[in-house]
């Protein structure tokens, strides 16, 4: 038990003194996660809207595929992205392996089905009275879409929060695609894994505390959004 207590106390010192190595992993995590969620949102929200709003051929199989991708293990996504951007892969010439853009691509793929599935479900379950009310105003199709998204803004924001919480806690993509390079591509989760294997519990615990703190903050925001929806 002594090493746990000692590690916890050292972890608090690292956080209080803003240890550069700890802060580097935190900043890399925030940077890659934020950019990847923005990319996933810009692609996933229109696709989710079309999937939830319109009825078309192959809609149900597409929804099944998207829902299946929600459970895709991060190591499998990391493997696929690694195969694509490795030096022998089709995108190898762009030098994305073991870089932040490489991690962002992988995390975007991880967040994309979450955004699509949750936004499609939100659009599908929209109150029919809302559609009738909007139609009664004589709005154009574009105005109908923008008004519907505005009415569902809290639910859609909640889907973004869920995607963000999934991305910051992943380790498969960061480890396999990022390479866990110190001061460069090392995220919180990959750093925790490495430091624990080295027996450096203080830094691992410090990063764990910060990660749990970020998750708590995200859930507080999610709770607030749910109460407003």
Q: What is the pLDDT of residues 76-117, one digit of tens each?
A: 999 999 999 998 989 989 999 999 999 999 999 999 999 999
| Six token digits for residue 229 | 């929806």
| Six token digits for residue 39 | 């990319």
Task: Give 189 or 199, the one with higher predicted confidence.
Answer: 189
Q: Residue 60 CA to chain centroid, in angstroms?
A: 25
Do the Cβ atoms of 98 and 179 come closer than 8 Å? Answer: yes
Compute the average pLDDT of residues 138-166: 80
Q: How confident is the model at residue 40 (pLDDT cuts 50, 70, 90)?
A: very high
Do the Cβ atoms of 171 and 77 come closer than 8 Å? Answer: no
* Three-state SS at 58: coil
Contacts of 101 by beta carbon, 8 Å cutoff, 6+ apart: none
Q: What is the pLDDT of residues 160-191, one digit of tens each?
A: 888 998 899 888 898 999 988 988 999 999 98
Count Cβ atoms within 10 A of the Cβ of residue 221 and give its class: 0-12 exposed, 13-18 middle, 19 or more buried: middle
* Three-state SS at 152: coil
Q: What is the DSSP letter of 109?
A: H
- Calpha distance 148→53 (Å, rounded): 10
pLDDT at 1 over 70: no
Do the Cβ atoms of 143 and 69 come closer than 8 Å? Answer: no
| Six token digits for residue 158 | 């909640």
Q: What is the pLDDT of residue 224?
A: 78
- Calpha distance 43→150 (Å, rounded): 18
């Amino acid at each position: 038990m002594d090493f746990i207590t000692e590690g916890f106390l050292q972890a608090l010192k690292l956080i209080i003194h803003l240890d550069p190595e700890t802060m580097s992993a935190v900043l890399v995590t925030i940077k890659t996660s934020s950019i990847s969620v923005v990319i996933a949102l810009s692609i996933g929200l229109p696709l989710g809207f079309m999937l939830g709003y319109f009825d078309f051929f192959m809609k149900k199989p597409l929804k099944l595929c998207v829902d299946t991708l929600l459970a895709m293990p991060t190591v499998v996504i990391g493997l696929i992205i690694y195969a694509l951007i490795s030096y022998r892969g089709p995108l190898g010439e762009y030098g994305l392996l073991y870089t932040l853009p490489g991690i962002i691509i992988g995390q975007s793929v991880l967040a994309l089905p979450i955004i699509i599935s949750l936004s499609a479900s939100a659009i599908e379950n929209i109150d029919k009275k809302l559609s009738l009310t909007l139609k009664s105003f004589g709005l154009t199709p574009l105005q109908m879409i923008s008004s519907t998204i505005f009415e569902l803004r809290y639910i859609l924001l909640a889907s973004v929060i869920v995607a963000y919480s999934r991305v910051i806690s992943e380790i498969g993509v960061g480890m396999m695609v990022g390479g866990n390079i110190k001061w460069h591509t090392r995220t919180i989760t990959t750093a925790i894994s490495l430091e624990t294997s080295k027996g450096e519990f203080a830094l691992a615990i410090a990063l764990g505390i910060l990660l749990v703190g970020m998750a708590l903050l995200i859930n507080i925001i999610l709770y607030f959004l749910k109460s407003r929806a």
